[in-house]
Amino acid sequence: MTEQTIFANANLILNDEVVRGSVRVKDGVISDIDSGNSVPSGAFDLGGDFLAPGLVELHTDNLERHLAPRPSVDWPYRAAILAHDRELSGTGITTVFDAIRVGSIISGASKRYGKYARQMADEILAMREGGLLRISHFIHLRAEICSETLVEELSEFSPKDRIGIVSMMDHTPGQRQFADLSKFETYTRGKYSFGDQEYRDYVDFLYGLQVQFGASHEAATVDAAKRLGATLASHDDTNSEQVATSQAYGVTMAEFPTTVEAADACHAHGIATIMGAPNLIRGGSHSGNVAAAELAKLDRLDILSSDYVPSGLLMAAVQLGDLWGDLPRGISTVTARPAEAVGLRDRGSLRIGQKADVIRFAVIDGTPVLQETWSAGSRVF
């Protein structure tokens, strides 16, 4: 039996224009798009609200926040995944690449953290298979170069896991995200409540890990992405030399480049630049790096990620639309562009034949207010 839904009298955010019209959905797929403000019998009258593609999130730490709601508090995996899934559906995200850390620190006197990636991935995949999740979930492996067990943990994954993204992350202090050591100290001591000597010991320990494992872990991450058939991403590129290395590795996405120089080099190499929505909304990076708005004005921002605030994704996309004077272009940074970057050709646009992941929102005093979210034609918020 065919299931049909009509969204009428909406401002449709298409690839390059906004038009008043309607969208017809049959069996979870967009089957027709018409212009005009008529409301057929049985249709949802959106009353002029915006109808846009569902948001595609490539990098979010939100799941880890649900896993550890307080310091030293571990939450059950399945409960955390469900809460994460429901939260994202309520922010307009219909496709998410859940960022899961691979690479642990199991020695040293300071901050330790154990492995969890394989078990977490198993839970997500089982819940996805069992139809327990409201939106589409894929796996994003965050490979911590500055760790002790990265090679072992990467080996636990195979192509059957359908890993979507593997990103290379080197959080060694004094470079990349934390080139400014004072920012690293403020962040680390605030997060872990280190005393003076404990902080110094931790920094020395991380330097030692980078010297011992940096080169081999980077090579292992590149090999793993190829073996798993995943999109390879770099993280916190700072200069043109690092970007050239990324390009040689086969990187096609750069997460949060920290300087204009790095963003320019990404553009020259055809590497898509991802910036954080919180950076744009707050007016700058909390680490003191380049502002997302500056890259947007230079035409060096391709994709937005909510990073650590899921509700910021739609807000930042609308803000970008205002900055560029082009709402469809702003929305594309959280829909079509990220979908294209990871090879998802069945979503990200309001087009006939696309998966009916759509959202309804209004803009009130410059702030987008999400009204409803549909995933494959089913209302999930």
Q: Is residue 297 part of a domain?
A: yes
Q: How far is CA 118 from CA 47, 158, 164, 354, in A?
A: 46, 11, 15, 32
Residue 142 belongs to domain spanning: 54-347
Residue 113, helix vs strand vs coil: strand
Q: Is residue 48 part of a domain?
A: no
For the chain, 381 residues long, give each residue's pLDDT as a single digit of tens: 568 999 999 999 999 999 999 999 999 999 999 999 999 999 999 999 999 999 999 999 999 999 988 877 889 999 999 999 999 999 999 999 999 999 988 876 556 678 999 999 999 999 999 999 999 999 999 999 888 899 999 999 999 999 999 999 887 775 666 666 666 766 666 666 677 777 777 777 777 778 778 789 999 999 999 999 999 999 999 999 999 999 999 999 999 999 999 999 999 999 999 999 999 999 998 778 899 999 999 999 999 999 999 999 999 999 999 999 999 999 999 999 999 999 999 999 999 999 999 999 999 999 999 999 999 999 999
β-pair type (358-364, 367-375)? antiparallel
Helix (H) or strand (E) run with residue 122 in it: helix 117-129
CA–CA dist 124, 102 (Å, integer): 15
CB neighbour burial string for 64-98, b if at least 16 within 10 angstroms, e if fewer: bbbbeeeeeeeeebeebbbbbbebbbebbbbbbbb
Instruction: Please tell me the total count of domains within the chain.
Output: 1
Q: Is residue 105 part of a domain?
A: yes
- The phi, psi pair for 274, rounded to 5°, reads -110, 130
Q: Is residue 128 part of a domain?
A: yes
Q: Is residue 64 part of a domain?
A: yes
Identity of the amino acid at 192:
Y
Cα of 230 vs its chain's centroid, Å: 15
Look-up: residue for tokens 């020259």?
A: 268
Q: Is residue 84 part of a domain?
A: yes
Please choose, from the candidates 246, 248, 249, the residue with its C-alpha nearest in 3D space to the C-alpha of residue 274: 246
Listed in sequence order, the residues at least 6 apart from 155 whose beta carbon sits closer than 8 Å to its beta carbon are none
Q: Is residue 158 part of a domain?
A: yes
**CATH classification at residue 66:** 3.20.20.140
Q: Is residue 11 part of a domain?
A: no
Whole-prediction pTM: 0.91
Helix (H) or strand (E) run with residue 85 in it: helix 77-89
β-pair type (93-102, 29-35)? unpaired
